[in-house]
Structure 1
Amino acid sequence: MNRTNPKKFRVKSFGCQMNVYDGERMSEMLVDQGMSNADEGEDADLVVLNTCHIREKAAEKVYSDIGRLRGKDGKSPMIAVAGCVAQAEGKEISRRAPSVDIVVGPQAYHRLPELIDRAKSGKKALDTDMPANSKFDVLPGRKKQARPTAFLTVQEGCDKFCTYCVVPYTRGAEISRPWSDLIAEAQALVDGGVKEITLLGQNVNAWSSNDDTGKKQGLDGLIRRLNEIDGLERIRYTTSHANDMTDALIAAHGDVPKLMPYLHLPVQSGSDPILKAMNRSHSAEEYLKILRRIRDVRPDIAISGDFIVGFPGETDADFEETLSVVREANYAQAYSFKYSPRPGTPAAVMENQIPPEVTNERLQRLQALLNEQQYDFNKQALGRQTDILLERNGKLDGQLVGKTPWLQSVHIIAPELAIGDMVDVTIESAGPNSLQGKLTQREAA
């Protein structure tokens, strides 16, 4: 059926920070096309489901959302499915969900305006190509931002081929965006009101490019250059791979003032046989050695990690090795998941798949230890004076929520302040997931 020109849109992003970034860029592109973002509770003429394929049943959740979008008497908004599920299951989505008008992969969403034009004429629009020309070359420039924090994708794709992961198949090979483009986008974000930038990549510390003088730079060089931007207060990066933690990047944690004392460095398992089966290409001890070196240059750094429990072949002894790594690493926070087979990955057809009841019991034990460590880390902040960047309103009157340099959420009552303010606070209480603080009283000079 023919459709009218959509005027109001909504982008719903799932999963990783890179999807959040992609969702923001799609929104900016649609605004550039003359559309406006639908307000909360307002009907949208176009809904973009920006999907993630990492977790189990991701595709089923997409179909559930599509079903909810179908209106009575067959009336519904124009529906676009974007992201990694679109890339992995594009033709199946078109076959199984006829109400979907557009299917577009994560490397082709810059073509969304053309696909909308095609869909308006009643034709199905499918684009899951991975074009040689970068989508970043045709996306609109960054404008004023609604929040004081922003993501900046510097690297996409993955060449590591961990046996459980679909990213190399849905995002493609590793590519690094050019130095000059990133400096320009970072400056535009700061000019638009951003005070904190998080650099993103599937393997963000694999980023490399030649700088303006032709010298090859790694992520540490980019961070050092961003450190020079006036108005930028904080720099973070995620997600890293242990094999790409260079000496220079480790050193940057000790001597770049705006690089925050927080590192997300996944290990996935503490067992060397399981790490080998995962194709992680590092041992548990090599991973722990990196953490020791980082703590040597930045003793107060907060370490975060990722874990997969119940990987095929994982024995009780393997799992105990994971708990041992967790105890030595002493995480400020970490993310842990049950292994779920992703179609098309080597691990999905491995022997010795672990029974769900075993995986569940192991996950509960692991999460209990990780939660205990996170609570202990938060309690160490009691009485500390630190700066926080206010990011959003809290649930109480006059309450604002900001983040410490260590990425902890702090709630304060300060009706006279505003989102985007950087303020000094004293931490008064600590919970498992957040802190309470008050504005620090400074003595008169």
Structure 2
Amino acid sequence: MIELPVVGALHEEQIDAALARKEPGTKGVWIQTLGCQMNEHDTEIMLGMLQQIGYKRVATPVEADLILYNTCSVRENPERKVYGQVHMLRQLKERNPNLIIGICGCMTQQKAELERMRQELEHVDLIFGTLNIHRLPELLNKVQMTGERVIEVWHEEGDVVEGLPVQREGKLKAYVTIIYGCNEFCTYCIVPYVRGKERSRSPERIVAEVRELAAQGYKEVMLLGQNVNAYGNDLDQDVDFADLLYLVNEVDGIERIRFTSPHPKHFNDKVIRAMAECEKVCPHVHMPAQSGSDRVLRRMGRRYTRAQYLELVRRMREAIPDLAITSDFIVGFPGETEEDFQETISLVKEVEFDSSFMFIYSPRIGTPATRLKDQVPEEVQRDRIYRLIEVQSEVSLKKNVEWVGRTVDVLVEGRSQKDPDRLSGRAPNNKLVVFQGHPSLIGHTVPVRVTEAQTWSLTGEVAV
């Protein structure tokens, strides 16, 4: 038996039979994407480039001629997953010597991880980074022509590469990157080291891409950046994130505009005003707080205080009706005391976040936080994350109950994953809404009256 990612354990005969069924002349690619929306969009770009040179996406690694892992390095768990799964592929490659295995993304930008891959993963043929994914076809050709391993990871940012093909997931919602990199250097975060400094795309290029998406029938765009509201700081043009929201709002055919992720430090009144005045910008902000303690925020290098965060929330809610606010939190940061943690609990209760992503602090090699004293014991971290999840769950349910009896416009995305007999979609404030409806409603915006509230979703019925 051979254990493989996704498909589980297969007999060698099953693998050989699957390989024998492959049509001559066809080339399949299987990609495993870990991490954020930026990584998901990078995968769409790589699929677009591969499609142009004859590759077709396949459902399992057994069917593939090319396997790619687009990696994440924000936390340790995704890294462990990559090593575990790529080790599994060794036996598959032995039975299919023509198989090419590649690793890309943020993990490869870390010199220590790159060296580990070089030594431990000898069966990997291709390793490249976040700054040169546009060279994938060329690098792949080099592997095929020479039969040798190719490792090419750039550590210096070049110009933003435009005009790359994109094979998007779905035909309703689309990612549009507006800025790459991050200049914040929070003490716990590896992103500036693996994604480079901030580099904004020109507003003309962004608007042109959104217009093209509208012409193709897309109804919603998600503007992406590691620090999305720092957009324009590096451009010669006098344009900022708020200006860009106004520009994208003018594109005919686009019904909804979302963005992620902003930094509280850059979320000024001009951005709030743009959100309030642009009717297509959805009333939802994902605003990472990370902690409710000023002492921890200082150690994190976040450059705002609890009071400043709360004042920002007050101004946003005053200007934008029915605004949903979601957040990120890190629990067990070095030196975090029980008193600090209680400050985070109280922030969740005071703001009443609609939902949050909550994580245990994960040390990242090369970041300043790894040198801080007073690392929090693992059992304390686990206890705190469970308590925070419990509080956030209570708050999320309370916020969702407030929507029972109200009617929301739902952009119907497809069948519900949990109940294929029902449909699901998102309200403007990003609430997941599940309801009974005919499949012909998929792709349309439908008024739905909310009848029930769950912790992480709403249930409703089509409003007559």
TM-score range, shorter chain: over 0.9
Q: Would you say the 8 A contact 1:46–1:80 is kept in 2?
A: yes
Q: Which runs of 5+ in 1 are unaligned?
A: none
Matched, 1:304 2:329: no
Q: What residue is the counterpart of 1:170 in the other structure?
A: 194
Q: What residue is the counterpart of 1:392 in the other structure?
A: 414
Measure how far apart 1:131 and its partner are.
5.1
Residues 181 and 118 (structure 1 numbering): CA distance in 2 closer, same or farther, change over 3 Å?
same
Distance 2:364 2:160 in 1: 27
Distance 2:442 2:62 in 1: 25
Which one of the candidate residues 97, 100, 106 is aligned to 2:121? 97
Q: What residue is the counterpart of 1:194 in the other structure?
A: 218
Matches within 5 A, 1:275-290: 275-290=297-312
Measure how far apart 1:418 and its partner are.
4.1
Measure how far apart 1:72 and its partner are.
4.6
Q: Secondary structure at the match of 1:216?
A: coil
Matches within 5 A, 1:205-244: 205-208=229-232, 216-244=238-266
Matched, 1:113 2:140: no
Measure how far apart 1:215 and its partner are.
5.4
Q: What residue is the counterpart of 1:14 in the other structure?
A: 34
**Given residue 185 of structure 1, which amino acid in structure 2 is its aligned partner?**
E
**Given residue 164 of structure 2, which amino acid in structure 1 is its aligned partner?**
L
Matched, 1:402 2:422: no
Residues 6 and 98 (structure 1 numbering): CA distance in 2 closer, same or farther, change over 3 Å?
farther
Of the structure 1 ranges 86-95 and 344-353, higher mean CA displacement relative to structure 2 is found in 86-95
Matches within 5 A, 1:42-441: 43-72=63-92, 74-76=94-96, 77-88=99-110, 89-120=113-144, 121-130=146-155, 132-137=157-162, 139-140=164-165, 142=166, 146-208=170-232, 216-395=238-417, 396=419, 398-441=421-464
Deviations 1:335-374 (A, max 9, x none): 1111111111111121100011111111111111111111
Q: Say what the alpha-carbon RMSD is for the aligned residues.
A: 2.0
Deviations 1:386-411 (A, max 9, x none): 11111122254542211011111111
Deviations 1:254-273 (A, max 9, x none): 11100101001111111111
Measure how far apart 1:5 and its partner are.
8.6
Q: Would you say the 8 A contact 1:86–1:104 is kept in 2?
A: yes
Which one of the candidate residues 24, 30, 52 is aligned to 2:44? 24
Q: Secondary structure at the match of 1:80?
A: strand
Q: Which runs of 5+ in 2 are unaligned?
A: 1-23
Residues 62 and 346 (structure 1 numbering): CA distance in 2 closer, same or farther, change over 3 Å?
same
Distance 1:237 1:39 in 2: 30
Of the structure 1 ranges 344-353 and 419-428, higher mean CA displacement relative to structure 2 is found in 419-428
Q: Would you say the 8 A contact 1:268–1:306 is kept in 2?
A: yes
Q: Secondary structure at the match of 1:20?
A: helix
Q: Would you say the 8 A contact 1:253–1:294 is kept in 2?
A: no
Distance 1:44 1:51 in 2: 19
Q: Would you say the 8 A contact 1:307–1:337 is kept in 2?
A: yes
Q: Would you say the 8 A contact 2:284–2:323 is kept in 1?
A: yes
Measure how far apart 1:416 and its partner are.
4.5
Q: Secondary structure at the match of 2:63?
A: coil
Q: Secondary structure at the match of 2:440?
A: coil
Deviations 1:303-344 (A, max 9, x none): 011111111111111111111211211100111111111111
Distance 1:139 1:90 in 2: 26
Residues 92 and 40 (structure 1 numbering): CA distance in 2 closer, same or farther, change over 3 Å?
closer
TM-score, normalised via structure 1 length: 0.93
Deviations 1:264-299 (A, max 9, x none): 111111111111111111111111110000011013
Q: Would you say the 8 A contact 1:270–1:284 is kept in 2?
A: yes
Deviations 1:154-190 (A, max 9, x none): 1111111101000111001111111111111111222
